[in-house]
């Protein structure tokens, strides 16, 4: 057996600078490429008080009345004293969010880098579609991805900026067909690879292979390359029918924490650029089972649990249902033994 056949795999280093991370902050790329963004957006600088509110354990949602209809049949007749409205600490911001709702009927919010896709279970429609400031606060406060922006944005970077301004990005909600969202990987100013972003199997994408490369490569050469400040980055685009226009959804750091989707980071860090030949990867009929889980679902909590956590009688009802379900399951197992 050759001596080196058991050499351990070495993960290729991916160097990310502080400026690479800053260039991918929404307000930074939006100021360069706003005309190509998928939707209009209002960018609001965040006061320290709002960041403290997001980081705190205070789950009072501004503008909500405390317990307006206490349950008569509940064993709990204790009504907690109402807490001060947290929005009084960031009233300017609150007002600007309210004003934005006058021009955008619905809003998809995010902070500098991340959208709260992991906390959509908390809104009735289970999407990021917000119709009021409280929807926005609820989504942001429940999201680990938002917490990442506040505490870990520079974890993989070579240094940390001395001062950082956070922004709330209020994107006008526009329906999006997830099958036509693509993530594009750029290393050393070369467009290397394109992956489908939503990992379900969409048979019609195979016929789009050449159109995708042509449209996205042209967008990269004509729009992004001349102006963007980093040599390596990952950009997300949306290409709705009739596939003539490319819309920019986001720009992310070329770093392991950005989801590499149908590629691996080691591949992306080491693959050699092929002249005019970008690698496009799609979910096929053969590998579709591997990606069958719903994106971000590891962070979701069942709606029943959430509702019950806010209402003691629902909690009792839910536990009774669970125990009935469990005893039914164990009866069935015994019968089949
Ligand atoms: N204006 C919008 N209206 C509705 N949905 C949107 C809008 N912009 C983006 N989205 C959806 O939100 C998803 C996440 O947005 P994105 O900015 O890429 O978040 P992140 O950087 O956290 O991954 C996108 O993949 C897209 O499906
Ligand atoms: Mg992103």
Q: What is the pLDDT of residues 212-261, one digit of tens each?
A: 999 999 999 999 999 999 999 999 999 999 999 999 999 999 999 999 99
Distance 297 CA to ligand 1 centre (A): 16
Distance 135 CA to ligand 1 centre (A): 16
For residues 31-55, average pLDDT: 97
Rounded Cα distance between 267 and 97, Å, is: 42
- pLDDT value at residue 68: 46
Point out the ligand 1 atom lying closest to the alpha carbon of residue 175: 4
- State percent of the chain over pLDDT 90: 68
Crossing angle of helices 144-151 and 48-55, in 10° steps, is 130
For residues 183-197, average pLDDT: 97
- pLDDT value at residue 275: 63
Residue 110, SS3? strand
- pLDDT value at residue 138: 95
* CA-angle at 55, arms to 98 and 135, nearest 5°: 30
Beta-carbon contacts of residue 176 (< 8 Å; ≥ 6 apart): 38, 238
Is 149:111 a contact under the CB 8 Å cutoff? yes
More confident residue, 130 or 292: 130
Distance 194 CA to ligand 2 centre (A): 15
Strands (E), the chain: 41-45, 107-110, 167-172, 181-187, 190-196, 233-238, 247-253, 279-281
Averaged confidence pLDDT in the chain: 86
Distance 115 CA to ligand 1 centre (A): 7
Work out the pLDDT band at 1, boundaries 50, 70, 90.
very low
- Residue 299 CA, chain-centre distance (Å), reads 11
The closest ligand to the CA of 252 turns out to be 2
Is 235:20 a contact under the CB 8 Å cutoff? no
Work out the pLDDT band at 287, boundaries 50, 70, 90.
confident
Tell me the residues surrounding ligand 2 (ion) with CB < 5 Å.
250, 252
Count of residues in the chain:
337
- The sign one gets for the Cα dihedral 292, 295, 296, 301 is negative
pLDDT at 330 over 70: no
What are the sequence ranges of the domains in the chain?
A: 39-62+84-175, 176-300, 303-337
C-alpha atoms less than 13 angstroms from C-alpha of 335 in its C-beta half-sphere: 6
What is the CATH architecture assignment of 176-300? Answer: 2-Layer Sandwich (3.30)
Distance 262 CA to ligand 1 centre (A): 19
Within 6 A (CB) of ligand 1 lie 38-39, 108, 110, 114-115, 117, 145, 171-174, 176, 178, 181, 236, 249-250
Point out the ligand 1 atom lying closest to the alpha carbon of residue 41: 1
Is 86:60 a contact under the CB 8 Å cutoff? yes
């Amino acid at each position: 057996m050759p001596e080196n056949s058991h050499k351990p795999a070495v993960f290729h280093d991916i160097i990310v600078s502080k400026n690479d991370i800053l260039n991918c902050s929404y307000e930074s790329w939006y100021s360069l490429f706003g005309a190509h963004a998928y939707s209009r957006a209002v960018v609001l600088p965040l006061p320290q008080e709002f960041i403290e509110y997001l980081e705190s354990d205070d789950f009072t949602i501004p503008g909500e009345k405390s317990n307006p209809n206490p349950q008569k049949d509940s064993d709990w007749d204790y009504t907690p004293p109402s807490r001060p409205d947290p929005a009084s600490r960031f009233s300017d911001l609150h007002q600007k969010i309210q004003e934005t709702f006058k021009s955008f009927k619905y809003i998809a919010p995010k902070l500098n880098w991340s959208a709260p896709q992991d906390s959509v279970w908390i809104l009735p429609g289970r999407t990021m579609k917000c119709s009021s400031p409280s929807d926005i606060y609820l989504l942001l406060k429940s999201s680990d991805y938002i917490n990442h922006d506040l505490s870990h944005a520079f974890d993989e970077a070579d240094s940390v900026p001395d001062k950082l301004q956070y922004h709330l990005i209020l994107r006008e909600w526009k329906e999006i067909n997830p099958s036509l969202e693509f993530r594009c990987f750029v290393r050393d100013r070369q467009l290397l690879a394109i992956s489908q972003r939503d990992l379900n199997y969409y048979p019609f994408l195979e016929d789009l292979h050449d159109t995708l490369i042509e449209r996205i490569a042209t967008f990269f050469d004509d729009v992004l390359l001349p102006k963007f400040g980093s040599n390596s980055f990952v950009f997300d685009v949306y290409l709705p029918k009739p596939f003539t226009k490319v819309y920019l959804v986001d720009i992310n750091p070329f770093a392991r924490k950005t989801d590499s989707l149908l590629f691996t980071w080691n591949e992306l860090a080491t693959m050699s650029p092929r002249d005019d030949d970008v690698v496009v990867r799609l979910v096929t009929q053969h590998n579709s089972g591997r990606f069958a889980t719903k994106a971000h679902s590891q962070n979701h909590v069942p709606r029943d649990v959430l509702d019950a956590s806010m209402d003691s009688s629902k909690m009792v009802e839910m536990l009774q249902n669970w125990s009935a379900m469990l005893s039914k399951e164990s009866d069935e197992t015994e019968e089949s033994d």
